[in-house]
A and B are shown apart, each in its own frame.
Chain A
Amino acid sequence: MIKAEHVSFEYFRRDENGNVSDMVEAVKDLSLEVKQGEFIGILGCNGSGKSTFAKMLNTLLDPTEGEIRIEGMSTRDESNTWNIRKNTGMVFQNPDNQIIGTIVEEDVAFGPENLGVPTDEIWSRVADALETVGMTAYREQSPNRLSGGQKQRVAIAGVLAMQPKCIIFDESTAMLDPKGRQEVLRAAHMLNREKGITILFITHNMEEVVEADRIVVMNLGKLVAEGTPQEIFSHPEQMQEYGLELPRITELAVRLKKNGIPINGTILDEDTLVSEIENVAERLSGGHAERAAYMGQKTQAEHAAYIEQKAQAEYTGDTEREDPAEVMRSGLILDHVSYRYNPGTIYEYPALRDVSLSFAKGEFVAIIGHTGSGKSTLIQQFNGLLEPDSGHIYFEGKDVFEKGYNRTHLREKVGLVFQYPEYQLFAETVLEDVSFGPKNLKLPLLEVQQRAFQAIEAVGLSDAVYDSSPFELSGGQKRRVAIAGVLAMRPDILVLDEPVAGLDPVGRKELLQMLQQLNQKGMTIVLVSHNMEDVAEYADRVIVMNQGTVDFDGKTAEVFQREEYLQELGLDIPVVTHVMKRIQEEGYQVNAGEYRMQRAVEELAAYLSGQV
């Protein structure tokens, strides 16, 4: 189906005067063969050349060296272009930027219209394609009103209507929430299984390729590894070297192994891990029936009491919530806040309903909830960007919408980082961009510069970037510059909307650790996130938003005890908690409330080796 032989792609980077400054080899000597009906996962960190390769398959780019053949047709021969594009459809990253039609069905028809398919057949193809991806109910709607996952499904339908043999997903899940990711992934597998369509699935997310037939890993333009998921994920060091990670469940198994628990093979799914752990328990102690005897002096009842106590400690916690008077004086308080969009029109809808919240100094809070639950509207209340229809917002004990309140002070102290903040960069140099905030505060020049320097340092960028243009930096670096721009105002509270969206594994880890450090230095961090794993690892308190209301507000341990409740809201519990719960259900007395990986590993290791 696809045959790439020694393919390279080079391009020249030019300086301001149009002279070639350096040559970039995006893809180097890559050979790959894909058979009809395969599901291939392509992994690689940002800048590894995977998107460039995908575009060459679709003749959107021409290889500078080597040859690609699609169904025997060379991509070099221009007369093949349309046939190749018809056969290898592409679904891109940004759902908004690939939908051409203003109505769903008209967009799906775009491909067949271009191919000159007769009107009657266009209708039947559109109907079939929408039916296949389950979007028939939305056929007459505007794409602007759909969720990200739905938009991507429309894009898939648009490709399907051209009746391709192969579909390339070029990071199509990167900008979606977990539900949207699931929708797209499920559609890809379904097309592969039921229609025999070859799938090339490019992603940063390891979980999405564990069910692939084959995984291809790219690094610095080269194909560095190729094999079954089993093979690929059995080399954790190698993955790290390529800027990737392991699926969570595999990571858990690897860490258990490191802690002396003899687990066999590379684990890719939960069932296998749970049964492996059971096996180990059987082998070590002869099964849980004799567990109490094995544990020696401790009785089963005593152990149960110990677990109970441990779980209790998690709930109430040693870090008591700060006393209300102190929060009143220095914190941020939302008091019965409601907000409606477009009041008085048919587009009116209530985004926030009677929300009351408070944030004390030094907290690490996560706000979760599915798309459209009001998270983004909520955080815009925090620094007075949106004025509530009713209710009050207090900061440092003062009502921020009272006449004469200095809102600049509020925005200085409550920093807000929007989603994809790199899109708001504008200045000629990094330093200038980061200085924008402090300059608006009318601080003396020296102070402005000092703050900018410190902020750039705080986000982990070297001083070499001061004078470079922010537009020349890599995606991850741009994001850090944008965050530095907010940090330079020295906020007490830093609010971030999905700050790791679209970053590769290394980028997201570094960014989250940076937030953790800021938090340890006393800054309050409020993190809006879709990723339960991130929430579990970093947040102490979780706020669940649902239909514009605060549905739950409590400790991280508490929220992740409510699996059914979270699933009802389209959310989930972390993989670690899932595993712990299942082991407990099998009759082993471990703390099922554990949600941080390291602690779960320690707990399991101690339990299994009988040291509890």
Chain B
Amino acid sequence: MIRDITIGQYYPVESVIHRLDPRTKLAISFLYIISLFLANNKYMYLLALVALVVYIGFSKVPLKFMLKGLKGIAIFILFSVVLNMFFTKGDPFLDFAFIHISWQGFRTACYTTVRIIFLVLGAAVITYTTTPTKLTDGLERAFSWLKRFRVPVHEIAMMVSIALRFIPILVEELDKIMKAQQARCADFENGSIWNRLKSLFPVILPMFVSAIRRANDLALAMEARCYRGGDGRTKMKPLKYTVCDRVTYILLLVYLAGMISLRILL
């Protein structure tokens, strides 16, 4: 059940997007999200869609696989749809008994849904196409200017990278502990919400114990391999921009220019 969540999982295929420098992909994600918030008419959404299709197309990650990841945020989408539809005042679109939906409400709901889906898909491509190590490397380099303000950028990046490595292991462990308690007739599916929450205690506590034990082991293993923070550390794979990255940056600028001109002109 938990294993079904595909969002944030690296999808191992060869593609141009996979080979891009993580910093480039970070820039794409960041600027694409901003462009979506600029969008206020259907032409802009159309352009954003074209960009998204190109981006996903080149990444070679199957759309089906990506759409599955949307399941996790379905409730969030529904919530925003309901909120927008029923609570936006304007010309009536549907008037039935106690249900009042305005044209404006309907429109905003549609746009918001499209915007959320674009945003999640656009931002998720980086996680599907970048190994966690590269991603954290990219983040570390992209935010290295923060070091001047004494932000421990390297340490944070290392923490994130380890957390990402352990997610699949912990998910598997969670699955196992849940099953082990179910084998002792624990019931996670029935009863009141309070009872269901209470029934999770025998799962959460062992998970904490296990996470702490693993953290302890890992800290020892890292120390034994001479880890002592980011100072004086070299890299096996230092980040370097290639021609592909330069071309991508140009395309990204063209896209942004397009979005801005559409907003100003229409």
Q: Give the interface of A toward B (CB within 8 A).
A: 55, 58, 60, 82, 85-86, 89-90, 92, 94, 96-103, 105-106, 109-119, 122-123, 126, 142, 144, 158-159, 162, 342, 345-346, 380, 383, 385, 408, 411-412, 415-416, 418, 421, 423-427, 436-437, 440-441, 471, 485-486, 489
11 sample A-B contacts, Cβ–Cβ < 8 Å, listed by A number? A92-B217, A102-B133, A113-B235, A114-B233, A115-B226, A116-B232, A126-B236, A346-B65, A408-B187, A411-B184, A418-B176
- Nearest-Cβ distance from residue A91 to partner chain B, whole angstroms: 9
A96-B169, A100-B162, A436-B184 given; 19 more Cβ-contact pairs under 8 Å:
A55-B220, A60-B224, A85-B226, A94-B217, A97-B214, A100-B165, A100-B221, A100-B222, A112-B236, A114-B225, A126-B236, A159-B225, A383-B183, A411-B183, A416-B183, A423-B209, A424-B176, A426-B203, A436-B181
Chain B neighbourhood of A85, CB < 8 A? 223-226
Contacts of A115 in B (CB 8 A): 226
B185 touches A489 (CB 8 A): yes
Residues of A within 8 Å of B162, CB to CB, are 100
B96 located at the interface, meaning its Cβ lies under 8 Å from any Cβ of chain A in the complex: no
Residue numbers in B under 8 Å from A158 (CB-CB): 225
* In the complex, residue of chain B having the shortest beta-carbon distance to the beta carbon of A92: B221
* B residues less than 8 Å from A144 (CB atoms): 168-169
Task: Determine the residue in chain B with the shortest Cβ distance to A345.
Answer: B65
Please judge, given known A-B contacts A60-B224, A110-B227, A418-B179, whether A101 and B133 are in contact too, CB under 8 Å.
Answer: yes
B-side contacts of A426, CB under 8 Å: 201-203, 205-206
Among residues 103 to 131 in chain B, which have CB atoms less than 8 Å away from a CB atom of chain A?
A: 131
State whether B206 touches A425 (Cβ < 8 A).
yes
Q: Which residue of A lies closest to B221 (CB)?
A: A98
CB distance from A483 to the nearest CB of B (A): 11
Interchain residue pairs A-B with the least CB separation, the first 9: A97-B217, A98-B221, A109-B236, A440-B185, A437-B184, A416-B183, A426-B205, A424-B180, A111-B225
Q: How far is the CA of A321 from the CA of B206 in the complex (A)?
A: 41
A111–B223 alpha-carbon span in the complex (Å): 10
**B221 and A97 contacting across the interface, CB-CB below 8 Å:** yes
Within the assembled complex, what's the spacing in Å between the Cα atoms of A101 and B226?
Answer: 15
B178-237 contacts to A, CB under 8 A, are 179-187, 201-203, 205-206, 209-210, 214, 217-218, 220-228, 232-237
Known: A96-B169, A412-B185, A423-B210. A114 touches B179 (CB 8 A): no
A96-B65 Cα distance, complex, nearest whole Å = 27
Bound CA–CA A113/B225 (angstroms): 10
Q: Give chain B's interface residue range (CB within 8 Å of chain A).
A: 35 or more
- Bound CA–CA A482/B233 (angstroms): 44
Name the one of B185, B224, B232, B234 contacting A119, with C-beta atoms under 8 angstroms.
B234
CA distance A55 to B183 in the complex (A): 38
Closest residue to B68 on the A side, CB-wise? A345
In the complex, the answer to whether B236 meets A485 with C-beta atoms within 8 Å is no
Is the beta-carbon distance between A113 and B131 smaller than 8 angstroms? no
B132: Cβ under 8 A from any A Cβ = yes
Residue of A nearest to B218 (CB): A97
User: Do residues B185 and A408 form an inter-chain contact, with CB atoms below 8 A?
Assistant: yes
Please give, as numbers and ranges, the residues of chain B lying within 8 Å of A100 by CB-CB distance. 162, 165, 218, 221-222, 225
In the assembled complex, the Cα of A114 lies from the Cα of B162 at a distance in Å of 16
For the complex formed, measure the closest distance between the CB of A284 and the CB atoms of chain B, giving whole angstroms.
Answer: 55
Q: Could you say which residues of chain A place their CB within 8 Å of the CB of B220? A: 55, 60, 92
**Shortest Cβ distance from B201 into A: residue:** A426
Bound-state Cα–Cα, A346 to B68, Å:
13
B182 touches A411 (CB 8 A): yes
B185 x A437 contact (CB < 8 A):
yes
The answer to whether the Cβ of B177 comes within 8 Å of any Cβ in the partner chain is yes
Residues of A near B237 (CB, < 8 A) are 106
- State how many angstroms separate the Cβ of B193 from the closest Cβ of chain A: 18
Q: Which of B11, B133, B182 has the most CB of A within 10 A?
A: B182
- Contact: A424 with B221, CB < 8 Å? no
Do A102 and B164 form a contact, CB below 8 Å, given A416-B183, A423-B206, A471-B209?
Answer: yes
Measured CA separation A7–B226 after assembly (Å): 24
Partner of A424, one of B165, B177, B218: B177
Name the residue of chain B whose CB is nearest to the CB of A83: B226
Chain A residues lying within 8 Å of B226, measured Cβ to Cβ, are 82, 85-86, 111, 114-115, 162
How far in angstroms is the closest Cβ of chain A from B133? 5
> Residue on A with the closest CB to B166?
A96
> Is there an interface contact between B3 and A485, defined as CB atoms closer than 8 Å?
no
**B203 vs chain A, min Cβ distance (A):** 8
Cross-chain contact of A102 among B131, B228, B235 (Cβ < 8 A): B131
Q: Which residues of A contact B238 (CB under 8 A)?
A: 119
A123 CA to B182 CA, complexed, in Å: 47
For the complex, is B161 an interface residue (Cβ under 8 Å from A)?
Answer: yes
* Minimum C-beta distance from B206 to chain A (A): 5
Residue of A60, A142, A416, A436 touching B202 (CB-CB under 8 A)? A436
Q: Are B185 and A441 in contact (CB under 8 A)?
A: yes
C-alpha spacing A423/B173, complex, angstroms: 9
Q: Which B residue's beta carbon lies closest to that of A121? A: B234
Q: Is the CB of B187 within 8 A of A440?
A: yes
Which one of A105, A106, A118 lies within 8 Å of B234 (CB-CB)? A118
Which residues of chain B are near A142, meaning CB under 8 Å? 10
Nearest to B202 among chain A residues (CB) is A426
Bound: A98/B222 CA distance, A: 7
**A101 closest partner in B (C-beta):** B133
Contacts of B3 in A (CB 8 A): 342
Contacting residues, chain A, for B202 (C-beta < 8 A): 424, 426-427, 436
Task: Return chain B residues, CB-CB under 8 Å to A427.
Answer: 202
Alpha-carbon distance between A589 and B181 when the two chains are bound, in angstroms = 52
Would B177 and A117 count as touching, CB distance under 8 A? no
Which A residues are in CB contact (< 8 Å) with B218?
Answer: 97-98, 100
Instruction: Give the complex CA separation of A440 and B164 in angstroms.
Output: 35
In the bound complex, CA of A86 to CA of B225 (Å): 7
CB distance from A224 to the nearest CB of B (A): 26
> What is the bound-complex CA distance between A412 and B236, given in angstroms?
54
Q: Which B residues lie within 8 Å of A346 (CB)? A: 11, 65
* CB neighbours of A383 from chain B (8 A): 183
User: Please, which residue of chain A has its CB at the minimum distance from the CB of B161?
Assistant: A102
Chain B contacts for A123, CB-based, 8 A: 236
CA distance A334 to B235 in the complex (A): 53
Q: How far is the CA of A437 from the CA of B180 in the complex (A)?
A: 11
Question: Which residues of chain B are within 8 angstroms of A94 by Cβ–Cβ distance?
Answer: 214, 217
Q: A159-B225, A423-B206 are in contact. Are A106 and B201 (CB under 8 A)?
A: no
- A112→B235 CA distance, assembly (Å): 9
Contact (Cβ within 8 A) A102 B179? no
Question: B235 contacts which chain A residues (CB < 8 A)?
Answer: 113, 119, 122
Docked-complex contact B183 and A486, CB < 8 angstroms: yes
User: B145: shortest Cβ distance to chain A, in Å?
Assistant: 22
From the candidates A60, A92, A380, name the one contacting B179 in the complex (CB within 8 A): A380
How far is it, in angstroms, between the C-alpha of A408 and the C-alpha of B179 when the chains are bound?
Answer: 13
**What is the CA–CA distance of A144 and B227 in the complex, to the nearest angstrom?**
22
Cβ contacts under 8 Å, A424 to chain B: 176-177, 180-181, 202, 206
Q: How far is the CA of A380 from the CA of B175 in the complex (A)?
A: 12
Q: Which residues of A contact B217 (CB under 8 A)?
A: 92, 94, 97-98
Contact B234 A122, beta carbon cutoff 8 Å: yes
A268 to B173 CA separation, bound complex (whole angstroms): 40
**A113, A415, A436, A441: the one within 8 Å of B233 (CB):** A113
A408 nearest in chain B by CB position: B185
Closest B residue to A385 by CB, please name it: B179
Among B6, B210, B227, residue most surrounded by chain A Cβ atoms (within 10 Å): B227
Instruction: Give the complex CA separation of A126 and B236 in angstroms.
Output: 9
